[in-house]
A and B are shown apart, each in its own frame.
Chain A
């Protein structure tokens, strides 16, 4: 079945760059997403990348997509304590009438030390 894998924890120092990695299995995914969940809150869309792109940059966020290896990464430059959260990678499902469904990874908990 479809699966999205990501490491569960990442710890960085304030001001450093954070890189959160994700691997996925569905090569037909149209979009890949990064969601952020702050403590006690729902998921908030952070950014997304269309599958025919290699890179997308949005202020401190850089998303890199390697379609050949089915590898997605999220880089946060100049990481701040406010970036401490759980980050979920997700891929879209595009088969079997399930358009609109996403498959989520288990989430990477980012801890930023001052």
Chain B
């Protein structure tokens, strides 16, 4: 069974604090993703990584950074938390589909971290 874990289920931080959200997967997946989920907006991709030390911006990277020092771990960093970053944060991982058809890019999700910034 694929397992994706996130360091916290609930987190309360103050405006201006530096926040670290950790995600670990145990399936040796190449790809890892960070999303935020807000009511009425669905899932929005913040950053993703397709290899160690590699990162790519998603749709809403502003105010966030990421770190992928080890294959199994992908960290999301809020350098200076703001109230508009209050949200549910979801981490996911998947295998690299490679070229050609017949390869499935199923993303496996962690349970989510609900962050409240006061």
Contact = CB atoms under 8 A, between A and B. Distances in A.
Interface stretch (B13-21, B60-68, B79-87, B109-117): B109-117
B94 A107 contact: no
Measured as residues with beta carbon below 8 angstroms from the partner, the interface class of chain B is 20 to 34
A88 interface: yes
A110 to B, nearest CB: 15
Contact of A42 (B31, B90, B97): B90
Contacts of A45: 106-108
B96 interface: yes
Interface residues of A, number: 22
Given A41-B111, A42-B90, A42-B110, A102 B105 contact: yes
B110 A100 contact: no
A5 to B, nearest CB: 10
B106 A104 contact: no
B43 A92 contact: no
A78 B101 CA distance: 34
Contact of B42 (A41, A42, A104): A104
B43 A42 contact: no
Interface string A52-73: 0000000000000000000000
B48 interface: yes
B96 A105 contact: no
Given A42-B90, A100-B50, A100-B94, A105 B109 contact: no
A5 B37 CA distance: 16
A8 B40 CA distance: 8
Given A33-B106, A45-B106, A106 B45 contact: no
A10 interface: no
A43 interface: yes
